[in-house]
Every structure is written in C-alpha cells, then in structure tokens.
Chains A and B, each alone.
Chain A
Amino acid sequence: MRTTAVEFGLSARAVCEALGIELVELEDWSCCGASSAHSLDHELFVRLPARNVALAQAAGLDIVTPCPACYQRVLVADLQLREDRAWRREMEDLLGFTYTGQSRPRHLLEILSEPEMVDAVRERVTQPLRGLRMVSYYGCVLVRPPGITGWDSPENPVRMDRLVEAIGAEPVDWSWKVDCCGASLTLSRRDIVVTLSTRLAEAAGEAGADIIACACGLCHINLDTRQNLAEGKPVLYITELIGLAFGLPGVERWLRKHTVDPRPVLRERGLLA
C-alpha cells in the first residue's frame, strides 16, 4: 500500500478518515506471502499470515486489509488456527501468543459496502460523479472461493456497484466482473497478462464504461500498465473514486501516479479542475 499500490493506500486512508473509520496500522506487520508462498511452500503459505493474526490479536483489533490476497491468506490462516489444534500449538510456540480467534479478518471493500456504510458514503458525497460510467472489476480472490470469502456473490458480485451508485456515478453491467487479470504472471508471463488485461479493458469499453473501478493492487497495476489499447481505459481504485466524490484534497496526487491517465476523462465530465 506504500509502493506499487500507493494510490490505494493513500485513498483508503483518506476515505476512512472522512467516514470516521479509525485505521490503526498493524504494528510490525509482515508480508502474507501473496501468490509466491502457496506456489512453492505450503507451510509458509499458512505461517506467514498467521503472524499477522497473532499481531492483530495482540492489538485487540480486527484485521482490515485493502488487498484481496492478504485478505484471503489471513482468512485461511485464521481458519487453520481455529481448526487444527496441533498446528495452532506449533504457531503459538513459534509466534509467542495464545490464539483466541477474536480478530476477524475483513476486506476494506466488505466494510465500505455494508448497507450503513453505503448510506454514510452517500451522505458524505459533495461532488456526485454525474455522467461518469464505470464497470466494477472485482477480480478473483476477493470473492472466491465462496466457502472462504463469502461476503458477495462469486459470479455476480454487486457490492462495489452499490458504492459506485452511492457516489453518483453510473454503474455499468458487464460479464467480466470476476475474470482474473493474470495476477502474479505479470513478470514471468507478461504476454498472458497483456492478453487478459487488454481483453478486460476492451470489454469495459464495449460495455460503454469510461472507467474501470477496482479494489486490488495487483489488478490495478496489471490493468493500468499491461493493457494494450490504442486509447487507454483508465483504471481507478474505488477509494480514489470515493475520495473524488467526497472532494478530498490531494486526489490529484493519487491520479498523477497512474500509467493510463484518468484526468482527461474526469476533466471532460467537469469533475476535476
């Protein structure tokens, strides 16, 4: 959230502050292992996020993450801590804690799209994004597998669309909501990610959208940097869009960092100076 997805980190913090959600950075958090842990080493796959579960518990707070992979990994580690007694004891020894299961792992979008939150977002909007048509791109592990994540439909999720509506923009339906962007293959098989990202960006255009809204750092960087269209389709984090609708200062600072510049289309709609 401070590096390749810095716009997500900054906009998420700003939006939560505006909504009165207090975010406390998990002290001394470490990487959950993302795709690489489960790809090479099953034990590391569950151990790395287990450390964050232990830290959150010590802080007495729920874990909220804007990253779908972190979210899913922490859920899996939490589940295993709860169900595998022998492994739990091993982790308690290694990490120096006693598991209580009190910290609930949640995804930021899950929280922002709760009905009361959507109402709060709607009320806080000072500049409704009128005339801006956008598709909601949920990506893969945010809503799958349904047995693990389960807070929105794995085939036709709608909760990001509801937020899009709440900020005054026009949610556009499309059939690529949950199609993978190619994820971690972005360096090792660039060609695949170019193919998938280009297809997604094209589909957004065919559906009549000006913008693709997303909630994942990897989806964003893939769609933003790997789409290969004559005219780029801007990809924005849902939190950037909410921040824009709230009229928060510094929005342009986030938008400047994109590879496909979203500012022209926003200026066209009179949403940016």
Chain B
Amino acid sequence: MANVCKPDPAFRQAVRDRSGEPIQLCYFCHKCTAGCPVAYAMDYKPAQVLRLVQFGQKDKVLRSFAIWLCVGCEICGTRCPYRIRLVPVFDTLRYMALQEGYRPEPKVYALHRSFLDSIRLWGRVHELSMLLEYKLRSRDLFSDLAMGISLIFKGKIPILPERIRRLVQVRQLYTKRPSKP
C-alpha cells in the first residue's frame, strides 16, 4: 500500500488521550487480530488499525468500516502482552468519526441509534418499535420477518412497551451534558 498520507501526530495523541490506552506500546504481535472474532470481515485488521493510528493516518482510519464492526468482546485487550484494550480505542475512533462527519457503517449505526432512541422513549428497550425504527433507518424491511413473527408468537417480543416511572431522569442523562469540551 503506497498511499500513505502525511502523518497527523495530533490525531495519534488524541486517540491515546481520549481512549486512555497506551497505544504507543504496541509492537504488532497480532494476538489481538488472531483472537478477534470479526477480524476476518474487517477492511483493516485490529493490529493494522493500531499501526495506522501510530502513523497518524487519520483519514484512512476514520473512513474504515473496521471501527464499526468491533463487537466489544474484549479478547484483544485480554490477550495483548501490554493489556492494551482496543475496545476503548475503537470506541474513541467511532466518536471521532461521527464528530468529524465521516459516514458510519449504515446498518451498524442504524441499530445502535434505534436502540438508544428506544431507551430515551421508554427507559427500557421496546424491541418491537426499536426493530421497526431499525428497519426504516437501514431500509432493510423484509429480512428476518419469519423469525420475528415466530418470536412474537413465542411471547419473546411484547407488543406493548414497558415505560419506567421516572423517565425524566433517563432523558436528562441524554440531554444534560457537561460544558467541558
């Protein structure tokens, strides 16, 4: 890969600071990649993402869909000889990508957005309306219909939501943000 862009040291430092992880210690043993269950589907493998961050390749990293595929299983940090946890690093990269206007992996983003919207609405996730929102956002209307109907009949997807009493408290958690940058 010959198209390395000018390194952005501020990016590298920001990832280190915001994630709190000592990414400068990584020496590419690849245990993280070997253990990662979704590495096979990623455009950049976990160790490669870290290498790109070390080289300050902000655009490449924030544009990747690898950062959206991480499921947070924590195998990487558990096996890393320096215990560098990649979950907080990938979290940080996602927050940066969103803040800087990079397009997230659409379905992954749609799922998380719908989930968080449901909590904001009811305090607890109402699967049925959450799934509806997900399907509308992702434009994936028809997949899993049969399974969904089966689960409804088994009583696993209630029709009505459960709304908590002090919903205001949960909504405030969403809206009252600290003024610090």
Contacts and interface: CB of A to CB of B under 8 A. Distances in A.
Contact of B73 (A38, A42, A144, A190): A144
A4 B157 contact: yes
Contact of A180 (B73, B107, B116, B166): B73
A180 B75 contact: yes
A260 interface: no
Most chain B beta-carbon contacts within 10 A, residue among A37, A140, A188: A188
A183 B119 contact: no
Contacts of A128: none
B174 A44 contact: yes
Given A34-B115, A141-B73, A48 B170 contact: yes
Q: Is the interface of B mostly helix, strand, loop or mixed?
A: helix
A43 B125 CA distance: 19
Given A40-B112, A182-B38, A189-B107, A6 B75 contact: no
A33 B108 contact: no
A39 interface: yes
A40 B119 CA distance: 14
Interface string A25-38: 00011110111111
A3 B158 contact: yes
Given A187-B134, A187-B144, A43 B177 contact: yes
A66 to B, nearest CB: 15
Contacts of B118: 31
Given A35-B71, A140-B75, A90 B178 contact: yes
A256 interface: yes
B74 A144 contact: yes
A259 B150 contact: yes
Contacts of B113: 36, 40
A273 interface: no
Nearest to A256: B154
Interface in A149-190: 154-155, 178-180, 182-185, 187-190
Interface string B76-115: 0110000101010001101100100000010111111101
Interface string B112-147: 110110110001110100010010001000011001
Contact of B173 (A42, A47, A155): A47
B6 interface: no
A51 B108 contact: no
A196 interface: yes
B22 interface: no
A217 to B, nearest CB: 10
A47 to B, nearest CB: 4
Contact of A40 (B98, B127, B162): B98
A48 B142 CA distance: 32
B88 to A, nearest CB: 9
Contacts of B178: 43, 90
Contacts of A3: 127, 156-158
B116 A140 contact: no
Nearest to A47: B173
A117 B91 CA distance: 38
A257 interface: yes
Given A35-B72, A94-B172, A141-B74, A28 B37 contact: no
B117 to A, nearest CB: 9
Given A94-B176, A187-B144, 15 more contacts: A3-B157, A28-B123, A29-B124, A30-B123, A30-B164, A40-B98, A41-B116, A94-B169, A140-B73, A145-B74, A154-B78, A183-B72, A188-B105, A188-B110, A196-B37
Interchain residue pairs A-B with the least CB separation, the first 9:
A140-B73, A188-B107, A36-B115, A180-B73, A144-B74, A36-B112, A183-B71, A180-B37, A30-B123
Interface of B: 37-38, 41, 69, 71-75, 77-78, 83, 85, 87, 91-92, 94-95, 98, 105, 107-113, 115-116, 118-119, 123-125, 127, 131, 134, 138, 143-144, 147, 150-151, 154-158, 162, 164-166, 169-170, 172-174, 176-178
